[in-house]
Structure 1
Amino acid sequence: MSHQWCPMILLGCGWIVELIFRVFSADKSLNSTARPGRRRAKSKKYYQDGKDLVRIAEETMVMAPAIAAKLPNINPYHAEACYLDQLPCLDRRQCPREKPTAIHVVNMDSLNAALQLAAQYKWESRVMVLNMANFERPGGGWLKGAKAQEETLCYRSSLALSLDARFYPWPQLMGLYTRDVVVMRHDMASGHGLMVGSSGSIEPQRLPLVSVMSVAAQRNPRVCQVKNQVLYQQDAMRQLTEAKMRLCLRTAARKGHGLLVLGALGCGVFGHPATEVAQCWRRVLQEAEFAGGWWKAIWFAVLDGRSSAKVPGVFSRELAGLEV
């Protein structure tokens, strides 16, 4: 994969002069300490039509390689394809045997959760974040202003650099592991301000790093109504969902990640029932393979949303406080 993203794709935009000025201004300041400060938070109306998110995405396409060039000890462009049938069950002899930890369910952005978790465990290995990915298109609709979880990861970080088009579309039981993901923007509520450069306060070498495991749920599974609950119509979908979760957990353990930020895999626009997904996570996390102390901490970052308003409550009921 080429390590250069051509800025020529932006020439049709009327704001190209401003963008180029910002890029060069930020690049000049990458080797110096910027004045502390944050961009003024923008209202929800600012992002109403998605056009400003498109601009954020295009700016990130230029800024991410510039920042990566200042970090020679990592490789944000590299992703590893992981296949469940090539990952045998975990070997208990390699288990770090951590003390049992209670699962936390938090109503926040996945990267905010990862940064908060990392701050609590400063001397532990890097946090691994689950990216609930689109298996057909790198980054889902992030270049068009979409607002799902994968897109928010791409707006705020270097993740998209590693989502090479050659991997797509990928098989159902495949995922992408990206070890080096640089977090370089504040969250949407803060206006997606850059953490580095003329509008930020952090030198590139001190930007937060996370690892990301990208796993894609099946789109629009068949569901049925049973009393007051929406459930999978076919047990095969339940089994497939649990297999994807095993892929995520096996990869995390094999890569030495004891700090995990997971999520409501497939809930929202992909149409998976929240109760089913939460119960799948519960069953898989309690399987003998994952018992015995593989994890230092597990958080589920589950945001409220127009299409998933009840999801945080469901996940809290099913998972919060569960010891694994």
Structure 2
Amino acid sequence: MWRKKYYENPRRLALAAIAKETQTTTPTIASALPHLDPTKSEKHDLETLPPLDAAKCPRFSAAKTRVFNQDTFDAALAMPSSVVGIAPSPDKPTATIATDILARLQSTAAALQHLNPATAPRVAVLNMASERNPGGGWLKGSSAQEEALCFRSTLAASLHRTLYPLQRRTGLYTRDVVVFRVSAGDGHKLMVPETDPAFLPIVSVLSVAGIRRPEVKPEGEAVDGEGEASSAHPDSRVPEEKPTHAKGKDKAKAPKGPFVFANPADRELTKDKMRLCLRMAGTKGHAMLILGAIGCGAFQNPPQEVAECWQVLSEAEFAGGWFREVWFAVYDRRNEGNYEIFKEAFDGKVM
């Protein structure tokens, strides 16, 4: 099917203009906050980043998981208020609020000396990144999760071309990400100059790429009817379709369950990407995490299996009190079923 190029699509042109404005506004934001470095990021590889040291674990009580059908940054901005009872305030600079959050976190940590005062109050957000292009297609008005983060914040300034491509078990950590736009639902309005830069919210970002369009197959089947697995099956993002929906000769072609990775190595690679995300967050001292359905958008990974892969949260390295709370922001605008899958798997569970 013929598709318009981005410069022929009014919506994408509007988003591209927002991206350009974000680029020009970012240096002004950065210069107003000299104690931060929004342009700095670190590249980490799972094989060289040491496993979390249990002796340094803050030993929070078991982390509660929640799932929200919400923009990632909106979830991140709401998290401190929900978790520790500290709401954003127009009367307090961000640094003061962070100190209050740290005090609340200390009251629930068994090992106070292992809380990092610089990062523990900050929510660490998963950026489901492109492994090829910094910020994905944000400069051309694309609108997946990574682009949404870049439109609203200083994130793109830290995603340097020299760091790409990202290898399969490699990710980027950006400590200082300043959010200075409201969400797309509210028109991407700039928060400055009405809000002083000192009062803008700050998060940290973990940029890890899902597998790009892996081969998938219906669960329980070794191959499809043609003798080989499907590549990026168009229905790989929807929940189970019941065979009773099919009639006559088409019944045999009906999906027999949700789609899964055709190659077991892709499943293990996905788990390693998640382990990298959690290891970076724990190493940097973050107590609150916003995760997501990595790879389940444009990369067409099978959501049911991706949700199951996130059970790495229960592995010995990450269990035992590294995180105060973990949320999944699964923004399912098109009702493709991803939110329901993650909600059933994680909402209200204790990891």
- TM-score category, normalised to shorter length: 0.7 to 0.9
Larger radius of gyration: 2
Q: Does 1:161 align with 2:190?
A: no
Amino acid at match of 1:101: A
State the 1:102 CA deviation. 1.8
Find the aligned partners of 1:295 and 1:157 in 2 and give their Cα distance: 25
Q: How does 1:29-68 map to 2 (within 5 A)?
A: 49-68=11-30
Say which SS state the counterpart of residue 289 (structure 1) adopts: coil
The reply on whether 1:250 has 2:273 as its aligned counterpart is no
Residue aligning to 2:41 = 79
- SS of 1:210's partner is strand
Question: 2: CA distance between counterparts of 1:137 and 1:260?
Answer: 24
* C-alpha separation in 2, matches of 1:180 and 1:148: 22
Q: 1:128 aligns with which of 124, 131, 139?
A: 124
**What is the CA-CA distance between 1:48 and the residue it aligns to?**
6.0
Equivalent pairs: percent with the same residue? 48
* Residue 225 of structure 1, CA deviation: 1.2
Does residue 98 in structure 1 map to residue 60 in structure 2?
yes
2:50 and 2:200 map into 1 onto residues whose CA distance is: 35
Measured against aligned partners, the alpha-carbon deviations of 1:26-56 in whole angstroms (never above 9, x if no partner) come to xxxxxxxxxxxxxxxxxxxxx9631110110
How far apart, in 1, do the equivalents of 2:45 and 2:288 lie? 22
Equivalent position SS for 1:214: strand
Aligned-pair distance for 1:287? 0.6
Structure-2 change in CA distance of 1:48 and 1:259 (3 Å): farther
DSSP-derived class of the 1:69 partner: helix
1:286 aligns with 2:314: yes
RMSD, aligned CA = 1.2
Work out which of the residue numbers 78, 89, 100 in structure 1 matches 2:51: 89
What is the alpha-carbon distance in structure 2 between the residues aligned to residue 57 and residue 117 of structure 1? 26
What does 1:1-324 correspond to in 2, within 5 Å?
49-120=11-82, 121=84, 122=86, 123-124=101-102, 125-197=121-193, 201-226=194-219, 227-282=256-311, 284-306=312-334, 309-324=336-351
Instruction: Give the Cα separation in 2 of the matches to 1:194 and 1:50.
Output: 18
* Deviation, structure 1 residue 291: 1.0
* Deviation (angstroms), 1:81: 0.3
Deviation at 1:101, TM superposition (A): 2.5
The corresponding residue for 1:31 is: none
Distance 1:263 1:278 in 2: 9
Deviation for aligned residue 1:79: 0.2
Name stretches of at least 5 consecutive residues in structure 1 with no aligned partner: 1-46
How far apart are 1:57 and its partner, in Å? Answer: 0.3
Q: Cα–Cα, structure 1 residues 48 and 277, in superposed 2: closer, same or farther, change >3 Å?
A: farther
1:30 aligned partner: none
**Length-normalised TM-score, structure 2:** 0.76
Shift of 1:275: 0.3
**Per the alignment, in what secondary structure is the counterpart of residue 279 of structure 1?**
helix
| 3-state SS in 2 of match to 1:137 | coil
CA–CA distance in 2 between the matches of 1:193 and 1:49? 16
Deviation string 1:218-239 (CA, Å, 9 cap, x unpaired) is: 1000000132211100110000
3-state SS of paired residue (2:171): strand
Cα deviation for residue 183 of structure 1 reads 0.2
Larger mean Cα displacement after TM superposition, 82-91 or 68-77 = 82-91
Structure 2 gaps, min length 5? 1-8, 87-100, 103-120, 220-255
Tell me the CA shift for residue 88 of structure 1.
Answer: 2.4
CA distance in 1: counterparts of 2:147 and 2:314, whole angstroms? 30
Could you tell me whether the CA contact under 8 Å between 2:64 and 2:324 is conserved in 1?
no
String of CA shifts for 1:126-182, please: whole Å, max 9, x gaps: 100000000100000000111100000000000000000001112111100000000
Distance 2:63 2:268 in 1: 26
SS in 2 for 1:50: helix
Kept after mapping to 1: 8 A contact 2:181/2:191: yes
Matched residue SS, 1:81: strand
Query: Secondary structure of the equivalent of 2:172?
Result: strand
Q: Please name the residue that 1:27 is paired with.
A: none
Q: How many residues align?
A: 273
- Alpha-carbon offset, residue 288 of structure 1: 1.1
